[in-house]
Amino acid sequence: MTKPRRPHRLIPKISGQTYLWLAMLIFGASSAITRKLTEIGAQHFISDRNPISLCNVLFVGNICALIVLILIYWRQWNKATLKQLSRKDWVNLTAVAILSGALAPGLIFQALALTGVNNVILVGRLEPPLTLALSVWLLKERVGVWEFMGAVAAFVGVTLTILLQPPESAMMNMGGLHLGLGELLVAAGSVAVAVSTIIGKKHLSQIPLGIYSIFRTALGTVIFFCIALILYGSDHFADVLSPFLWQWMFLYGGLIVVVGQSFWIKGLKTATVSVASLVASFTPIAGIMAAYLILGEAPTLAQYVGGSVILVGIFLSQVGILRQTNSRVAFGKVNSIPAEQQVETNMGFKGI
C-alpha cells in the first residue's frame, strides 16, 4: 500500500523570480501609496496636524522594516562575527547608514510633498548612471559599451524630465534656469545613494548582509529622527502613536515593508544578479502605472519624453548585463552587499 503524498508537496513551489516580480510590483507602488496616505491624513487633522505626515510614515515604516530584518538576519549578529569587524568597517557602515538610511529617504519623502510621484520616479533614475560614473572614476571598473550607452540615455532622460517641466510655484531660479525644488531633492537623494553604493562596493564587500542591512536601517532611522527634531521641532512626531496613523501604517508597513521586503529577500536568495536586475528595471513602469491607478496622476509631456528615453537606457543596460555570460558578478547568486546594491540600483527607491 502506497503512502499518501504529503499535502505540501501537492502545492507547486513558488520560484525566486516570482517572489522578485511580486516585490517589484509592491515597491513600485510605494510612492503612490505614500502620497495617498498623506492625502487621507490631510482629511483627518489632529490639532491642526496631519497624523499621516511623510516623516511619520518614513519613521514608522523604518521601524517595521527593522523588525523584519531582525527576524530574518538575527543569527548573523553573534559575538564571533562582530569581532571580525574593524573600526574602519564600522565607520564605513555609519557613513552608508547616514547617506542611504537617513539622508536619501528623507530627501525623497520631502520631494513627494513638492512634486508629482512620476517626477520622483523618473528623476530617481539618475542614480544608476551616477553609480556607474563613480565606479569607473573611483573603483576603476571597466564598463561595457551597452552599459555606457544605457547610462547616457538614462541621464539624458532625467535631464529632459527636469528641464521640460511646466513652470510651478515650487521652483528655483538658477541663472535663468527654472528647476523644481522637488526634482532637485530627488537628484540629491540619488547622489547620496550612489555615494553609499560606492562605499559599500569598496569597503564593505566582506560584511555579512544581515549586519549591513540591520545596522543601516537602525542607525539611519535614529539619525533621521534626530534631524527631523532639529529641523521641525520637538512636536513634529507628536502624532507618531496616533491610532489613526497606525491603522493605516499596518497597511503600509504590512504590505510594503513586511510583505515587500520578505518577498524581495526570499527572491534574492535563489535568483542571479542578471535576473534580479532585469526584474528591478521594471520598477519605474510599475510606479508610473500605480500613480495613475491610485492617484489618477497621468504622465505629462515632459514625463512621456524623459521616461521614454530612460526606458531606452534601461533596455540598453539590460542588454549589457545579459551579454556578460561569463561574468561571475553578473550571473552569480545575490548573496553579497555589492551584488544586492547592483540590483537595487536598478530598482530605485523602495518606500523605506
Point out the least confidently predicted range of 213-227, 286-300, 333-347. Answer: 333-347
Specify burial of residue 234 (Cβ count, 10 A radius: 0-12, 13-18, 19+).
exposed
Lowest pLDDT segment from 10-19, 21-30, 214-223: 10-19
- CA pair distance 203, 311, nearest whole angstrom: 32
E strand or H helix at 173? strand 171-174
Pairwise pLDDT comparison (95 vs 165), residue with the higher score:
95
Going 228 to 93 to 33 to 239, the CA torsion angle's sign is: negative
The tens digit of pLDDT for each residue in 263-287 reads: 887 887 777 777 777 788 888 899 9
Cα 202 to chain centroid, rounded: 20
Give the number of residues written for the chain. 352
Average pLDDT on 301-319 reads: 90
Top-confidence residue, 323 or 313? 313
Tally of CB atoms within 10 A around 5: 8
CA angle 215, 210, 52 (to 5 degrees): 55
Predicted local confidence at residue 339, as pLDDT: 67
**What cell does 173 get?**
531660479
Q: What is the residue type of 343?
A: V
The count of other CB atoms within 10 Å of the CB of residue 47 is: 8
33, three cell numbers: 501609496
Report pLDDT for 259: 86
User: Mean of the pLDDT values across residues 193-216?
Assistant: 88
pLDDT exceeds cutoff 50 at 330:
no
